[in-house]
Amino acid sequence: MKPNVVFGNILDQPVDVIVNSWNRNIIPWWLLIPQGVSGAIKKQAGLQPFVEVGRMGAIPLGEARETSSGKLDYQSIIHVAGINMCWFATEYSVRRSVESAMEIINAKT
């Protein structure tokens, strides 16, 4: 699979799956106020995908987890743990997050 970079609102893209940069589930999801992309996804998808990912427990840095898409018309949402304990994304965490998301997508095809 070859990634295709597009510009614009992620929620307006005609794709099967979207990827959400998420925390590592160290802090319970219900204590966080999703902002940016996560906030936009939560606003349109509803709570269900975030409840699902929260129940999955701690996500190792660079790993990915798949949930339903809630009220969105996508097949699923892939949440990647790209933020380290200091709330920064590193080259390693971004690279591993992309690889982990691609592994989930490739397993579906």
- Looking at residue 1, what is its pLDDT? 64
CATH code: domain of residue 59: 3.40.220.10
pLDDT, tens digit only, all 109 positions of the chain = 677 788 899 999 999 999 998 877 776 666 666 678 888 999 999 999 988 998 898 899 999 999 999 999 999 999 999 887 777 889 999 999 999 999 999 997 7
- Total number of domains in the chain: 1
Q: For residue 73, what is the DSSP state?
A: S
**Is 27 contained in some domain?**
yes
DSSP state, residue 62: T
- Of the candidates 92, 73, 72, which has an alpha carbon nearest to the alpha carbon of residue 82? 92
User: Does residue 45 sit within a domain?
Assistant: yes
Structural domain boundaries, residue 46: 16-108
**Residues in CB range of 12: below 8 A, 6 or more apart:** none
Nearest-Å Rg of the Cα atoms of the chain is 13
Fill in the DSSP letter of residue 29.
G
Answer yes or no: is 74 within a domain.
Answer: yes
- pLDDT value for 29: 60
Whether 84 maps to a domain, the answer reads yes
